[in-house]
Chain A
Amino acid sequence: MLDVVNLRHTYGEGPNAHQALGGIDLKVAEGELVCVVGPSGCGKSTLLRSIAGLIQPTEGQIRIRDAAVAETPGDLAVVFQDYSRSLFPWMSVGENVALPLRRRGKDRAARRAAAAEALEAVGLSAASGKYPWELSGGMQQRVAIARALAYRPSLLLMDEPFGSVDAQTREDLEDLVLRVREHHRMTILLITHDIDESVYVGDRVVVLSKSPARVAGELSVNLPSPRDQIATRELPAFVHLRAEVGRLVRAKDQVPGA
C-alpha cells in the first residue's frame, strides 16, 4: 500500500549540503505495522516527513495505494513526538480531535460523534471538554492518537510517538496502539530509536544505516499476538530478535572517533 522507491533527500546546497537519505526502498503492505529503527540523526524523520508530504524529497518516488504523494496527501495522519506543540491549545480536546474531520466533509454532528468514539477508544471520554494543557503528557499523546484514529487514515505515520513520556506510560501507549490497530485494521509506519519497542510493536522492523540513510536490513517479527509487556519480552524469540536488530543498528553506527 505504501511504496517508497529510491528516496533521496539532500538539505542545502554546495559545500554545506547534507545528504539525509541515500536511496531508500521501502514497502508496507495493507494492514501491516512496520517499525523503522536507526541511530539518532540518521534521517528517520526526513523519511517520515517526505511520506507525509511535508517536504519535497530531492529524488525518488513515494506512492500510497498507487497514487503519488502530493503536497497535501489527504489520506494519512501523523502522530508527532511533541504532542504539546502538535495539539492546539486554544481548542478543547474534543475540538482538537474533531478538527481534521472537516477535510472529510462531515457535518458538525458527525464530527462530534466520530471524535467521541475515538476518545473512547483511547480511554479519554471524560476529557473531551478539557484543554490539552490540562492533561498529563501521556494523556495528551493519547489525544493525538485519538485525533489520528478519528480521521480513519489509510496510513498512520508515527514519529517517535512515545519518546517524550515516562517508561510506564510508554508501555501503556504501545499496547494502546496495538489494540486500536487490531480494532481499526490500520496500516502503520512507526519510527523509533528504541530497539525493544520496534520488536515489541512491529510486524516487521526496518533498520536504517547512519546518515545518509539506507536500509541496512529488515526482519520479520513472528511473535504471538496479542503481545504482553512481560510475557512477550521474556520470550527467547523476542530476545533473539532484539539482538539481531541491535546488531544491524550498531554495525552501521561506527563513527570514527566517536
Chain B
Amino acid sequence: MINARVVRGVVGVAGLLAVAELIGRSGVVDPVLLPRMSAVLAGAAELLVDPRFLSDISGTLLVWGGGLLIAVVVAAPLGILLGSLPKADLAARPLVEFLRPIPSIVLIPLVTFLLPWDHGVKMTVVVYAALWPVLINTMYGLRDVDPLAKETLRSFGFGKLAVLRRVSLPSAAPFVVTGVRVATSIALIVTISAELLAGGSDGIGAYMIRAQAGFRTDLVLAATVWTGVLGFAANALLVRAHRWAFRWHVVKAGGAT
C-alpha cells in the first residue's frame, strides 16, 4: 500500500523531469532562460559542496526556524487564552480579522527602520505570517473540546484549571500541531520571499538574486529545488510526528469508534 504510493510518487516526479528535459533539448526555449533539467539537477548537486550556498542555506534555516519558533511560542499560549475565555475572544476577534489578511511582506520597509539586524527583519516578517495559522487552530481546537469530556472531569470535582490541563489541552493538541504544520509551509514561503525582496547577507533567496545577476538560471532553479526539498522534508516530518503522537485523534477522525 505504502510502497505503491511511493512508486506512484516517484513515477510522477520522474515524468515531470523527463518532460522538462525534452522541452529543454528540443530547442524551443533559449537554454539560458530555461536550462535543461539535467543541468539544473547537476547544479543542485554542485550546490551541496558550495560553501557559499551552504551558508546561505543555514541563513534560511535560521530565519525560517527561528521565526517559526517565536510564532509558536507567542501564538499557542495566546490561542489557549482566547480559546478558553469567550469574552477575550469576542474582544480580540475584529482585531485578528483585520490584522490577519495584511501581507506580512509589507512589514519589511517598516521593520528595516526599527531593526538594524537583517536576520531580525526577515524573522519578524516570518513571525507575523506564521502566527495566524497557529493562533486560529489553537482557538478552534479549544472551542471544539467535547463538553461532555469536560463535564466528566468537573463532576469528579476538578476545577477549571485542572479541566483545561487534563482535558482541553490534550484534546486541542492535534489542532495546534496542524496549525504548526500549516505555519511551517507559510514560514518557508515568506522566508524566501523576504530574502528575495530584502536581500541581506545570506539566504537561499539572496543566493538566487546573485545567480540571476550572473545569468545562471540553472543555479537559480537548482536553489529552487533545494527550497522544495526543505519544505517537503519539514512537512513530512510534521505529518509523521502528528500521526505518531496523536494516534487516538487519527483513529477518531477516521470514523472508527
A 152-167 to B, binary, CB cutoff 8 A, 1 in contact else 0? 0000010000000000
Interface residue count for A (Cβ, 8 Å)?
Answer: 27
- On whether A133 and B155 interact (CB within 8 A), knowing A85-B149, A88-B167, the answer reads no
Is A77 touching B248 in the complex (CB atoms < 8 A)? no
Chain A residue numbers with a CB within 8 Å of B151 are 49, 54, 78, 80
- B170 with A85: CB separation less than 8 A: no
Whether the Cβ atoms of A89 and B252 lie closer than 8 Å is: yes
A72:B251 contact, CB within 8 angstroms: no
List residues 30-80 of chain A with CB under 8 A from any CB of chain B.
49, 52-54, 72-78, 80
CB distance A52 to B248 under 8 Å? no
Inter-chain CA distance A88–B148, complex, in Å, is 10
Chain A 95-108: CB-based contact to B (< 8 A → 1; otherwise 0): 00001101100000
Flag whether A84 is at the interface (Cβ < 8 A). Answer: yes
- Name the interface residues of B228-257: CB closer than 8 Å to any CB of A: 246, 248-249, 251-252, 256-257
A85 contacts across to B, CB distance below 8 A: 146, 148-149
A80-125 residues with Cβ-Cβ distance < 8 A to B are 80, 82, 84-86, 88-90, 99-100, 102-103
A88 to B157, CA, bound (A): 17
A80 and B166 within 8 A (CB):
no
In the bound complex, how far is the Cα of B248 from the Cα of A52, in angstroms? Answer: 29
B172 to chain A, nearest CB (A): 11
- A220 CB to nearest chain B CB (Å): 29
User: Is B191 in the interface zone, CB < 8 Å from A?
Assistant: no
Q: Which of A78, A84, A88 contacts B155 (CB 8 A)?
A: A78
What does the 1/0 interface line of B83-117 toward A look like (CB < 8 Å)?
00000000000000000000000000000000000
Instruction: Tell me the complex Cα distance, A145–B249, Å.
Output: 24
Is the Cβ of A86 less than 8 Å from the Cβ of B152? Answer: yes
Residues of chain A within 8 A of B257, CB atoms compared: 84, 133
Given known A131-B248, A133-B256, A133-B257, contact A88–B156 (CB-CB < 8 A)? no
Q: Which residues of A contact B153 (CB under 8 A)?
A: 99-100
Tell me whether B148 and A72 are in contact (CB under 8 A).
no
A51, chain B: closest CB distance, angstroms: 10
Shortest C-beta distance, B82 to chain A (Å), equals 23
Q: Which residues of B contact A73 (CB under 8 A)?
A: 155, 157
Is A151 an interface residue when CB atoms closer than 8 A count as contact? Answer: yes
Is the CB–CB distance between B156 and A100 below 8 Å? yes
- Chain B residues with CB under 8 Å of A75's CB are 157
B149, B153, B155, B171 — most chain A CB neighbours (10 Å): B155
Contacts of B8 in A (CB 8 A): none
Q: Which residues of B contact A100 (CB under 8 A)?
A: 153, 156, 158
CB-CB under 8 A from A52, the residues of chain B are 155
| Known A90-B171, A133-B248; contact A74-B148, beta-carbon cutoff 8 A | no
A80–B148 CB distance below 8 A: yes
Give the CA-CA distance A102 to B249 in the complex, in Å: 25
Chain B residues near A49 (CB-CB < 8 A): 151
Q: Check if A151 sits within 8 Å of B156, measured CB to CB.
A: yes
Chain B positions 167 through 203: 1 when the CB is less than 8 Å from some CB of chain A, otherwise 0: 1001101000000000000000000000000000000
Given A77-B156, A78-B152, A89-B249, 15 additional A-B pairs, CB 8 A: A72-B154, A72-B157, A72-B159, A73-B157, A80-B152, A88-B166, A88-B167, A88-B171, A89-B248, A89-B251, A89-B252, A90-B171, A90-B173, A90-B248, A100-B153
Could you write out 10 A-B pairs with CB less than 8 Å apart? A52-B155, A74-B157, A75-B157, A77-B156, A85-B149, A88-B166, A88-B170, A89-B248, A100-B156, A103-B156
Q: Which 5 A-B pairs have the closest CB atoms?
A: A74-B157, A89-B248, A100-B156, A78-B155, A85-B148
